[in-house]
Structure 1
Amino acid sequence: MVRLPASPLARQGRLLSRIVKLLREERNLTSRQTAARMKMQLRTYQDFEAGKREFSFTKVRRFARGVGADPFGILLAMYLHDPEAALEVMDNRMPMAFYVGMRRLRKAIGAELATIPPAQVLLAMRRVEEELLAYLARRAAGTEDWLEQAFAEILDDPPDDDT
């Protein structure tokens, strides 16, 4: 049995390979289609997807643009060692939204950003979490209400045609 290289870079390449393939397949794209969207040769794309080349943020961005994914979601999935994380944020682009928020925060606060303790950041993130959970609850309640109303309309007696 052939053992794959165990170096950190080799592991990183295999992880990126799993993430890229997962996202490409989620979009029902072939390697050829993805390479064309990235404006690169098929062989170059195949090497990229196979994790055979050195990590390139430029290629990650081109890939993300080509398949309509969040490049920061891909990086987050790599940091978390969880390819599914990239899939979960593929369409809502939450990591990119956090990036945009961080840029705005940095612009507003400037150098004082360095004086904010991590505990304060976690407290703020807890508030974000609470807001997002409340949003999901409201959305679920709205969906349930809509379904209940739709089911009631379907189950109501039809109007008489003789009237």
Structure 2
Amino acid sequence: MDSVSARFANGGDTLAAAFRKIRRERGLRTAEVAQRMGMALRSYENFEAGRSRLDIARICEFAEATDSDPFAILFSVPFRSSEFAVACADTKLVYIMMMLLETFFEEHGRDIALLEPPNLIGGFERVFKDLGAKLRENETTLSRFFEGRQGNSISLGNLSVRGLRKKRG
């Protein structure tokens, strides 16, 4: 992805919270993430606190260093929710959605301009309704699994999608 500067007028606090929460969720120290990003510790600390210039390339570097979803981090700003970025970190929900959208554009090109908003809304509503049903189904399955068990636990973080990277061609 090209380095495109972006100003996050009122989103700096949301981004800073997302960076900090994702890093902590991963069990990483600031020095570890700084090293992975090739930054001096002080520079990274300023980045994580939202006190330095934030651009898309740097956010993508952070996502790579923490194995999280760069698009979910970006979307956390208009959603005003750092928790959104954390919730998508393992599953790469927005990253996967963007990959599929890119493929859709490659297949249909400018014809996508012919799609009407009601059709888009209906299609996305169906997709998200289906995903919600899967979440409820998973919750029921896990409840049944743990029913009657004592002292056994399973780390859901281990069920994440790892290593999903876009093919470069």
Q: TM-score range by the shorter chain?
A: 0.7 to 0.9
Identity %: 26
Aligned to 2:129: 130
User: How far, CA to CA, are the matches of 2:64 and 2:15 in structure 1?
Assistant: 16
Higher mean alpha-carbon deviation, 128-137 vs 58-67, is at 128-137
Aligned to 2:166: none
Output one character per residue of 1:9-66: Cα deviation in whole Å (capped at 9) or x when no partner. Answer: 5533222211111111111211111101111111211121121222211110111111
Aligned to 1:109: 108
Output one character per residue of 1:79-138: Cα deviation in whole Å (capped at 9) or x when no partner. Answer: 211111101111001000110110111112111101111211110011102221232233
Structure-to-structure mapping, 1:11-160, within 5 angstroms:
11-148=10-147
User: How far, CA to CA, are the matches of 1:147 and 1:12 in structure 2?
Assistant: 40
Flag the structure with higher helix content. Answer: 1
Structure with the greater relative contact order (CA < 8 A, sep ≥ 6): 1 or 2?
Answer: 2
Task: Extract structure 1 runs of 4+ deviating beyond 6 A.
Answer: none
What RMSD in Å do the two structures reach over aligned CA positions? 2.0
AA partner of residue 114 (structure 2): T
**Closer/same/farther in 2, CA of residues 148 and 31 from structure 1, 3 Å limit:** closer
Equivalent residues, number: 144
Structure 2: unaligned runs, 5 residues or longer: 1-6, 151-169
What is the DSSP-based 3-state SS (H/G/I as helix, E as strand, rest coil) of the residue aligned with 1:25? helix
User: How far, CA to CA, are the matches of 2:101 and 2:75 in structure 1?
Assistant: 15
| TM-score, structure 1 as length reference | 0.79
